[in-house]
């Protein structure tokens, strides 16, 4: 087999192209990790039972989670089931805001990761095509 070497400018461009793809993948992973951390925190707020201090008294009230607060057959709101103090402690506003805050991280992270992966696959494909074009069988 006879393989002609790639010129140095093409090698530099190929290396930079691959590094850019790896960098995009890294940023995508980081942004998706940030979104996952927000989702885990929101899941914790929705699923885990908690306690609320009564204020001036040294006694705390045990509250059921927002997701699993119903024991009966009838649909009852969290406020009616656990009380106003428990309902105010885990209000829907901050939970919804956290979910909305995580969406740009997830979308942008996914886009960057897919773009980086596509860049790396394209570089590998171009290298394979160049190798096949330059290889001559004896």
pLDDT in tens, 43-88: 998 888 877 776 666 677 777 777 666 655 555 554 545 556 676 7
Highest mean pLDDT among 3-12, 37-46, 63-72, 84-93: 37-46
**Residue spans of alpha helices (H) in the chain:** 8-47, 78-82, 84-89, 92-134
Highest mean pLDDT among 52-56, 80-84, 125-129, 130-134: 125-129
The answer to whether residues 108 and 31 touch, using CB atoms and an 8 Å cutoff, is yes
Is 0.85 topped by the overall pTM? no
114 or 92, which is more confident: 114
Position 110 scores a pLDDT of: 97
pLDDT at 1 over 50: no
Euclidean distance between CA atoms 41 and 61, whole angstroms: 22
**CA nearest 63: which of 50, 75, 77?**
50
């Amino acid at each position: 087999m006879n393989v002609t070497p790639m010129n140095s400018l093409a090698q530099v461009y190929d290396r930079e192209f691959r590094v850019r793809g790896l960098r995009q993948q890294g940023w995508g992973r980081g942004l998706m990790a940030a979104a996952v951390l927000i989702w885990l925190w929101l899941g914790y707020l929705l699923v885990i039972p908690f306690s609320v201090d009564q204020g001036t008294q040294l006694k705390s009230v045990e509250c059921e989670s927002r997701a699993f607060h119903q024991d009966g057959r009838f649909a009852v709101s969290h406020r009616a089931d656990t009380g106003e103090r428990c309902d105010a402690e885990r209000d829907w506003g901050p939970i919804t805001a956290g979910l909305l805050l995580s969406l740009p991280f997830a979308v942008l992270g996914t886009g960057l990761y897919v773009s980086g992966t596509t860049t790396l696959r394209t570089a590998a494909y171009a290298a394979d095509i160049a190798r096949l074009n330059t290889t001559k069988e004896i």
